[in-house]
Chain A
């Protein structure tokens, strides 16, 4: 169970999230939709623990653990995963070395031994193949020179290898053409399980054609202003966000 309770987040002088409450039970996938500037990415960063995103009030829990008291790495070890809207390019660090370091760091935090290299390589190859990621791409510096689609596929690969308890997908559809979108969605769907929750953040309904949510929430002016079933996404696509902006 992933819960956010009456959360307030400040970035610099501006209060962006103003009393947001949300609960995603294990096994469910929820979508947060909202217009530009409504605070979607701020919410994602604050939950993952990025510096400069100051939580001034409220709580966020994953399986009962107080996320806000933890460092970003400890949140990851608890099973939180954020798929970035703009994955960061890191010249000089190969994608595969990064993934290996990340997996073993999480295992260490959970009191597990590092995964033996052959098993790790096998796991990565298998997951990479499903995402059409070739070995060559794994050897390249992390995200450097990756196309928009490649970056998002590599985010999906990280998620598949790290097997988080709860994943937040921030605008995973941006920069993806339709084929890449389908492929990423397929792999995200393959990760859906009774033990795992997901929060899909998106501006457009299109992604939700492929990752079908159990619940849809509308984020406007820093709050959830409406929640409903998958049909809510279709309504937003038809009617836009205007009425929520006015009402909020």
Chain B
């Protein structure tokens, strides 16, 4: 744990009174009619947790946020604006000068909000593992990264807890830079993890993987936009999720290949599994290609557990509940990348296993 976590918790109280006060301007938050919020009803989720929130106006953004996430907030990113109004620290020197998968840096995201980010210099490596576990209120966090030429950012976000958890990340990737991201979302009253990636340099590589699982009353939303602006870029995305009765999973993934982003190779897959009657999974995969000479593929499925696989396992002596757990575990683990730091991978596997056997 580094100093960041301490700074966040120390300022929580003042932030709460300043930005998440009682002013009722909920009409400023997106409604379900707004683009991208159709399946994630943030207004009723905030009502449910008794939070009256309005999107902070620009003059209310903290000074530090101005430098950090103003771009996203001005572009209409609600999470960025909420974070800008609630956070009071911009941590440009965030992280040790060097980290790698055997020495990642861990960061506990606070209860209320934060902004942060980092510009990675050429060939620099940063591995950051963020834990987000709000206790029932609203938490809004926004992070902006720039991945310099040949640099590599590995970002892991593990979400659990309750309340309304909102995270937005924006990553600009320069030539031959690499972004590797993995998100584990356990859902909350409403949990939304947004990722906005802009590939600005040639030959950049992006991996965006994720797993979500939702119990009754829990909602997990993984939303991403990857914009290829330069040639020879690669994007690989595999998101897998499961929902039980009363749980809702949402995947919205957009990949845009702009004119001039020749020889882009983009692959996006989302596979959801509905474990019980009354479970919900909504998916909106989008591929917008404005360039020639590209290789793009996407696939999206939502279904139940394969009954023939279940019978196969049971016929070998595995009890039904354990056979189900093994199959769902196998399904989800496909989206857990090999490159995760070992300790993080263990944690992810343990969390998935515990949920399946709960």
Chain A residues in the interface with B (C-beta under 8 A): 48-51, 71-73, 75-77, 81-82, 84, 87-88, 90-93, 98, 101-103, 105-106, 109, 141, 158, 162
Interchain residue pairs A-B with the least CB separation, the first 9: A92-B330, A76-B317, A102-B316, A106-B317, A93-B330, A72-B314, A88-B312, A105-B317, A92-B334
Task: State in angstroms the CA–CA spacing of A50 and B312 once bound together.
Answer: 9
Q: Check A73 against B320 for contact (C-beta < 8 Å).
A: yes
**Chain B residues within 8 Å of A158, by CB:** 316
Q: Could you tell me the distance in whole angstroms from the C-beta of B281 to the nearest C-beta in chain A? A: 19
Q: Check A90 against B314 for contact (C-beta < 8 Å).
A: no
Interface membership of B358, Cβ < 8 A: no
Interface membership of B331, Cβ < 8 A: yes
Interface membership of B322, Cβ < 8 A: yes
Residue in contact with A88 in the complex, picked from B308, B317, B322, B333, CB distance below 8 Å: B308
CB nearest neighbor in A for B333: A92
Q: Check B320 against A87 for contact (C-beta < 8 Å).
A: no
| 30 pairs, CB–CB < 8 Å, chain A vs chain B | A48-B311, A48-B315, A49-B314, A49-B315, A51-B311, A72-B311, A72-B315, A73-B315, A73-B317, A73-B320, A76-B315, A77-B317, A82-B315, A84-B312, A87-B312, A90-B309, A90-B312, A90-B327, A92-B329, A92-B333, A93-B326, A93-B329, A98-B316, A101-B322, A101-B326, A102-B316, A102-B318, A106-B317, A158-B316, A162-B317
CB nearest neighbor in A for B322: A105
Q: Could you tell me the distance in whole angstroms from the C-beta of B224 to the nearest C-beta in chain A? A: 23
**Chain B residues within 8 Å of A91, by CB:** 330-331, 334
Interface membership of B313, Cβ < 8 A: yes
Q: Check B320 against A71 for contact (C-beta < 8 Å).
A: yes
Interface membership of B319, Cβ < 8 A: yes
**Chain A residues within 8 Å of B309, by CB:** 88, 90
Q: Check A102 against B317 for contact (C-beta < 8 Å).
A: yes
**Chain A residues within 8 Å of B306, by CB:** 88
**CB proximity to A under 8 Å, residues B88-127:** none
Q: Check A71 against B314 for contact (C-beta < 8 Å).
A: yes
**Chain A residues within 8 Å of B329, by CB:** 92-93
**Chain B residues within 8 Å of A109, by CB:** 317
Q: Could you tell me the distance in whole angstroms from the C-beta of A49 to the nearest C-beta in chain B? A: 7
CB nearest neighbor in B for A92: B330
Q: Check B330 against A50 for contact (C-beta < 8 Å).
A: no
Q: Could you tell me the distance in whole angstroms from the C-beta of A113 to the nearest C-beta in chain B? A: 15
Contacts A73-B323, A75-B315, A102-B317 supplied; 20 other A-B pairs, CB < 8 Å: A50-B311, A76-B315, A76-B317, A82-B315, A84-B312, A88-B312, A90-B309, A91-B334, A92-B329, A92-B331, A92-B333, A92-B334, A93-B326, A93-B327, A101-B318, A101-B326, A105-B319, A106-B317, A109-B317, A162-B317
Q: Could you tell me the distance in whole angstroms from the C-beta of B82 to the nearest C-beta in chain A? A: 37
CB nearest neighbor in A for B335: A92
**Chain B residues within 8 Å of A48, by CB:** 311, 315
**Chain A residues within 8 Å of B330, by CB:** 90-93, 141
Task: State in angstroms the CA–CA spacing of A158 and B318 once bound together.
Answer: 13
Q: Check B315 against A162 for contact (C-beta < 8 Å).
A: no
Interface membership of B307, Cβ < 8 A: yes
CB nearest neighbor in B for A101: B318
Between B311, B326, B333, the greatest number of chain A beta carbons within 10 A of the residue's beta carbon is seen for B311
CB nearest neighbor in B for A89: B309
CB nearest neighbor in B for A86: B308
Q: Check A73 against B333 for contact (C-beta < 8 Å).
A: no
A87-B312, A88-B312 given as contacts; is B326 within 8 A of A73 (CB)?
no
Task: State in angstroms the CA–CA spacing of A75 and B314 once bound together.
Answer: 9
Task: State in angstroms the CA–CA spacing of A99 and B309 once bound together.
Answer: 14
**CB proximity to A under 8 Å, residues B297-349:** 306-309, 311-320, 322-323, 326-327, 329-334
Q: Could you tell me the distance in whole angstroms from the C-beta of A219 to the nearest C-beta in chain B? A: 21
Task: State in angstroms the CA–CA spacing of A49 and B333 once bound together.
Answer: 29
Task: State in angstroms the CA–CA spacing of A103 and B320 once bound together.
Answer: 15
**Chain A residues within 8 Å of B314, by CB:** 49, 71-73, 76
Task: State in angstroms the CA–CA spacing of A236 and B214 once bound together.
Answer: 57
CB nearest neighbor in A for B316: A102
Task: State in angstroms the CA–CA spacing of A101 and B331 once bound together.
Answer: 17
Task: State in angstroms the CA–CA spacing of A102 and B317 once bound together.
Answer: 6
CB nearest neighbor in A for B314: A72
Q: Could you tell me the distance in whole angstroms from the C-beta of B350 to the nearest C-beta in chain A? A: 16
Task: State in angstroms the CA–CA spacing of A16 and B301 once bound together.
Answer: 34
Q: Could you tell me the distance in whole angstroms from the C-beta of A231 to the nearest C-beta in chain B? A: 33
**Chain A residues within 8 Å of B331, by CB:** 91-92
Task: State in angstroms the CA–CA spacing of A109 and B314 once bound together.
Answer: 13
Q: Could you tell me the distance in whole angstroms from the C-beta of A45 to the nearest C-beta in chain B? A: 8
Q: Could you tell me the distance in whole angstroms from the C-beta of A138 to the nearest C-beta in chain B? A: 15
Task: State in angstroms the CA–CA spacing of A57 and B311 once bound together.
Answer: 22
Q: Could you tell me the distance in whole angstroms from the C-beta of A120 to the nearest C-beta in chain B? A: 15
A93-B326, A101-B322 given as contacts; is B307 within 8 A of A51 (CB)?
yes
Q: Could you tell me the distance in whole angstroms from the C-beta of B231 to the nearest C-beta in chain A? A: 33
Task: State in angstroms the CA–CA spacing of A152 and B67 once bound together.
Answer: 63
**Chain B residues within 8 Å of A84, by CB:** 312, 315
CB nearest neighbor in B for A93: B330
Task: State in angstroms the CA–CA spacing of A193 and B315 once bound together.
Answer: 22
Task: State in angstroms the CA–CA spacing of A77 and B333 once bound together.
Answer: 28
Task: State in angstroms the CA–CA spacing of A162 and B317 once bound together.
Answer: 10
**Chain A residues within 8 Å of B323, by CB:** 73
Task: State in angstroms the CA–CA spacing of A88 and B307 once bound together.
Answer: 10
Task: State in angstroms the CA–CA spacing of A233 and B326 once bound together.
Answer: 41
